[in-house]
């Protein structure tokens, strides 16, 4: 599968920040909320233009930094991450599910048919009709699908780690916490 790459540099004076949620438990976003009063400081320095925290339906154009939680587990995730990559200058693989597959990828030990039957067909029927996106054959890490600029591992990464990481990125510095390299 060809990996989608970053758009050309569209740097603007006030960074446009986004967070997105694919196949994860939302724990990484809960950790982001644990920034507490530091959220005010962060949002004084960047515009939050897309996130599960705000009511924006369509991922916007020209985003400077996007944190992506979760692995790529179904066709909706696949479409979303490719769109996010096309519209994001710096894409961050946010948390262990995004970086390694982690909990989300446990279903790779089972057949898609068995998972569908147990978790979807038997339990997600709406008005007698199956109501869920098609599962991919295997759960994929973000960097299996698109080019990733930075990795922010942790399950979830702590609020302190998230804050220091975003401080560096917003200041135009290389984040200092990349002790481990992922990707191939």
Specify the stretch interacting with ligand SF4 by CB under 6 A; choose among 72-80, 90-98, 161-169, 176-184.
90-98
Q: Tell me the closest approach of the beta carbon of residue 26 to ligand SF4, in angstroms.
A: 7
Rounded to whole angstroms, how far apart are CA atoms 63 and 51? 12
When binding is defined by CB under 6 A, the residue of 19, 66, 93, 102 that contacts ligand SF4 is 102
Q: Are 67 and 20 in contact (CB under 8 A)?
A: yes
Among 15, 101, 156, 175, binds ligand SF4 (CB under 6 A): 156
Question: What is d(CA 117, CA 34) in angstroms, rounded to the nearest whole number?
Answer: 36
Segment 8-47, which members bind ligand SF4 (CB under 6 A)?
24-25, 27-28
CA-to-CA separations, 9 to 3, 17, 82, 87, 157, in angstroms, rounded: 18, 15, 17, 11, 27
> Which one of residues 70, 73, 88, 93 is an interface residue with ligand SF4 (CB under 6 A)?
70
Nearest Cα neighbor of 169 from 27, 29, 18 is 18
Stretch that binds ligand SF4, among 97-105, 108-116, 141-149, 172-180 (CB under 6 A): 97-105
Interacting stretch for ligand SF4, rule CB under 6 A, among 6-14, 57-65, 95-103, 118-126?
95-103
Tokens of 133: 């996106």
Find the helix or strand (DSSP H, E) in which 92 lies: strand 88-94
Total chain residues near ligand SF4 (CB under 6 A): 13
> Residues of 99-121 as b/e, b for ≥16 C-beta within 10 angstroms?
bbbbbbbebbeeeeeebbeeebe
Question: Is residue 139 a contact residue for ligand SF4 (CB under 6 A)?
Answer: no
- The reply on whether position 64 binds ligand SF4 by CB under 6 A is no
Interaction site with ligand SF4 (CB under 6 A): 24-25, 27-28, 69-70, 95-97, 102-103, 155-156
């Amino acid at each position: 599968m060809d990996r989608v790459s970053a758009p050309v540099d569209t740097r603007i004076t006030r960074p446009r920040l986004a967070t997105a949620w694919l196949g994860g438990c939302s724990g990484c976003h809960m950790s982001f909320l644990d920034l507490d009063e530091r959220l005010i400081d962060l949002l004084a320095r960047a515009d939050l233009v897309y996130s599960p925290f705000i009511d924006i339906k369509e991922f916007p154009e020209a985003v400077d930094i996007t944190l992506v939680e979760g692995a790529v587990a179904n066709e909706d995730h696949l479409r979303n991450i490719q769109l996010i990559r096309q519209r994001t200058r710096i894409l961050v693989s946010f948390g262990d599910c995004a970086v390694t597959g982690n909990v989300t990828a446990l279903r790779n030990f089972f057949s898609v048919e068995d998972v569908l039957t147990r978790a979807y067909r038997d339990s997600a029927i709406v008005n007698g009709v199956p109501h869920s996106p098609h599962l991919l054959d295997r759960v994929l890490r973000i960097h299996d699908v698109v080019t990733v600029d930075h990795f922010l591992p942790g399950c979830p990464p702590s609020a302190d780690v998230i804050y220091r990481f975003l401080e560096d990125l917003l200041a135009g510095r290389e984040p200092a916490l990349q002790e481990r390299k992922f990707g191939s």
